[in-house]
Structure 1
Amino acid sequence: MNVPLWVWAATIAAMVLILALDLVIVDHPWSKTKGPKEFGIKQAAWWAVFYIGIAVLFGFGVMHFGGLTSGAEYFAGFVTEKSLSIDNLFVFYLLMTAFAVPKKYQHEVLLVGVVIAIVMRGIFIVLGAQVINAWSEVFYLFGVFLIYTGYKIVRDHVKGDEEDKDFTQTPVVRMVKRFWPVTDDYHGAHLTVKLDGRRHVTPMLLVIVAIGVIDLVFAVDSIPAIFGLTQDAYIVFTANAFALMGLRQLYFLLAGLMDRLAYISWGLSAIMVFIGVKMILHALHENGVHVVDIGIGASLTVILGIMTVTIIGSLLKSRSAGPGRPGSGGERDERDATADRS
């Protein structure tokens, strides 16, 4: 799809404007409650619907101006990146818990995380497009990497590595602690404070640093995945950006449901393996080998099918487990309901 420079500029400007309006409305100065506020489930639900609606409307716009194939590529990329973002949210949830981030500051931390993620992905998209143009055989490398990533997702899920990981002791966080003293408590949303005449960093800064590192790791995983569906840089960028823009609302919406998505890792693993195989088959096909070249329509159908089965299966398992039992999320829902009433 041949996209003029002014369309790129208008798209990015519109995204910045939407994020700015989001921040202003969430922290609206006319509220009776001064300062940061906790993000409610109902508020998160409306914002999540808003962002998904914008992404879908944009997809129909791509389909109208760029053709059916471009539209299908966008929707396949958006669904894939949105699916991967659910797994990212689980890691964010563990990180917020590890750093004991107060609820009223979590949406600010997540907004910074979303901005960092969009910038990271923008850089990786430019680099990825250059590599693909210069060396088409990179599809073999990307394909193998995605298949390994799919295996790693399931392996870590089965072993429980993510749950056991201490996000407060990552190498970058340890480096920050080595050069600057860290306060024991949060000081509002401040990243640094001056105590006893000396500048200290707060846990808020450490959380943002940790999220930045995690965003870098996620970008390494997600960009090869979407390049396996389309090589159009505009579609790759917009699908990523729209999948990320509603991420913080989705976090608060799914925070009470994390333990109900029992099969999400298996679904994501299947998607990564599928796209990895698709990339390898596409590379072989381009090199004259007579193999099946999976089209974008089939890819979109498979990705949507995997996520549908994954979510329905997870919800059925949660329902059969019953409230309060492992995997049901009942105890957390009860606590959230009590907190909302208070």
Structure 2
Amino acid sequence: MTYEIPTWFAITALVVLSLILLADLLIILKRPHIPSMREATLWVVFYVALALAFAVVLLLVTGSGDAMGEFVAGWLTEYSLSVDNLFVFVLLMSQFSVPRRYQQEVLMVGIIIALILRAIFIMLGAVLIENLSWIFYVFGLFLVYTAWRQAFPGKHDDDAQAETGIVRFLRRFIDISDSYDGSKLRTVVNGKKIFTPMILVFVAIGFTDLVFAIDSIPAIFGITQSPFIVFTANLFALMGLRQLYFLLGGLLDRLKYLHYGIAFILAFIGVKLFLHALHENELPFINGGEHVEWAPDISTWVSLAVIVAAMSVATVASLIAARREGDPITTTDAADRPDGDLPDGSGRTPAEAAAKSVAEEKGSRTGADDAPAGDGAR
């Protein structure tokens, strides 16, 4: 790292970004609703433009193109992983029959949980990197393994199934109502105050965030070792996630090759970390404890080019495949219809409908006890 980030800038940036996130949360709490396509698009464009503007400010403050490049590469990596996270969110929202009117609040809580968990992992990662040079070997191998898991189908179903075990465990110890009471965590049933299914949703979202934090933090540390850039890249990637969920809508289930692009990025960063570990090697059983001079050092700009190319190819290939299969590409949201429903009357996007069928199929195998809420929750 050949640049220095002034303390005043780091503090100011974190305060401003936290205020933006807080304002976003207050808007949701004051007026919970299903965002229209236009609203979701404007918010996504705003957050993307804000991230790019922040990259330019980094360049001006540090006077280093490396700082800007590392932030953009890290942000794009975390953003692509966040899109992958949306697939699991779609499944969870459908599995728990969360009313679409309150999905924004659920997503915002999920984002806050993700930020807290990632902040903890970032601090731990920074300490490990500072004191244990060989940790790059561990991070590199972990990312290659994660890429292998990502490249094979069924990953999202496995994540959702793991979540089901956590939920079943929770249901044994607390009383939970059969239906939602708005966005409340507690409600009164027969004169007794008990939890609503919303508590299960938050637990499931939090567990999912934990899994993705474990995957994503080593990935971005393979691009930059600056904790400030690591955190801000994660912050910007998560800030627009809520609106992206509604914007993509039915397009999510058509991005059939996206996981291959993400897998390639993770594998690439894993190899980069392993090469970096060789270059900084201090382990006595590798090259006699000496640095491996022949190990190449992949630059930030090469990493950025690879990330952009991988996501572009995966997205374009997915859309071409969807068109060839005769699947109309649309992101029509239920909010654009007067009654808030899709043609089948379910009120779900195509992605949610597909996820619901998966959840129902699992329910038939695991038993009705896994279902978090009855028909009254819809």
Shared fold, TM over 0.5: yes
**Structure 2 residue 321 is the aligned partner of structure 1 residue 317:** yes
The 1:320–1:236 alpha-carbon spacing in structure 2 relative to 1, beyond 3 Å, is same
**Structure 2 residue 278 is the aligned partner of structure 1 residue 276:** no
> What is the match of residue 219 of structure 1?
213
Distance 1:198 1:337 in 2: 39
> What is the match of residue 307 of structure 2?
303
Query: How far off its partner does 1:180 sit?
Result: 1.1
Asked if 1 retains the 8 angstrom alpha-carbon contact of 2:258 and 2:315, the reply is: yes
Asked if 1 retains the 8 angstrom alpha-carbon contact of 2:78 and 2:233, the reply is: yes
Query: How far off its partner does 1:279 sit?
Result: 0.4
Higher helix share: 1
Distance 1:246 1:54 in 2: 10
Distance 1:36 1:334 in 2: 16
> What is the match of residue 45 of structure 1?
41
For these two proteins, the number of residue pairs brought into alignment is 328
Asked if 2 retains the 8 angstrom alpha-carbon contact of 1:99 and 1:168, the reply is: no
Distance 1:174 1:7 in 2: 46
Query: How far off its partner does 1:26 sit?
Result: 4.5
Paired residue type of 2:187: V
Asked if 2 retains the 8 angstrom alpha-carbon contact of 1:82 and 1:244, the reply is: yes
Paired residue type of 1:293: D
Distance 1:260 1:339 in 2: 25
Asked if 2 retains the 8 angstrom alpha-carbon contact of 1:95 and 1:167, the reply is: no
Deviations 1:143-198 (A, max 9, x none): 0000000000112x2xx352476559633322321221111111001001122232
Structure 2 unaligned segments of length 5 or more: list them.
Answer: 282-290, 342-378
Distance 1:2 1:161 in 2: 39
> What is the match of residue 50 of structure 2?
54
- TM-score normalised by L of structure 2: 0.82
User: What are the residue-to-residue correspondences of 1:166-245 with 2, within 5 Å?
Assistant: 166=160, 170-245=164-239
> What is the match of residue 5 of structure 2?
3
Asked if 2 retains the 8 angstrom alpha-carbon contact of 1:98 and 1:167, the reply is: no
Deviations 1:119-143 (A, max 9, x none): 1111100000000111010000000
Deviations 1:229-265 (A, max 9, x none): 0101111110111011111001111121011101000
Deviations 1:181-222 (A, max 9, x none): 111111001001122232311111110111111111111000
Distance 1:6 1:189 in 2: 39
Deviates more, 1:73-82 or 1:252-261: 252-261
Distance 1:334 1:24 in 2: 23
> What is the match of residue 128 of structure 1?
125
The 1:217–1:209 alpha-carbon spacing in structure 2 relative to 1, beyond 3 Å, is same
> What is the match of residue 94 of structure 1?
91
> What is the match of residue 75 of structure 2?
78
Deviates more, 1:161-170 or 1:6-15: 161-170
Q: Percent identity?
A: 46
Distance 2:329 2:20 in 1: 33
> What is the match of residue 256 of structure 1?
250
Distance 1:204 1:340 in 2: 24
- Partner SS for 1:193: strand
Distance 2:260 2:172 in 1: 38
Asked if 2 retains the 8 angstrom alpha-carbon contact of 1:146 and 1:272, the reply is: yes
Distance 1:286 1:169 in 2: 39
Structure 1 unaligned segments of length 5 or more: list them.
Answer: 29-34
* CA RMSD across the alignment: 2.1
Asked if 2 retains the 8 angstrom alpha-carbon contact of 1:98 and 1:166, the reply is: no
- TM-score normalised by L of structure 1: 0.90
- Partner SS for 1:229: coil
Asked if 2 retains the 8 angstrom alpha-carbon contact of 1:225 and 1:275, the reply is: yes
- Partner SS for 2:172: helix
Query: How far off its partner does 1:36 sit?
Result: 2.6
Q: Which runs of 4+ in 1 moved over 4 A?
A: 164-169, 332-342
Match of 1:162 among 156, 164, 178: 156
Paired residue type of 1:315: L
- Partner SS for 1:170: helix
Distance 2:162 2:122 in 1: 29
User: What are the residue-to-residue correspondences of 1:129-144 with 2, within 5 Å?
Assistant: 129-144=126-141
Query: How far off its partner does 1:108 sit?
Result: 0.2
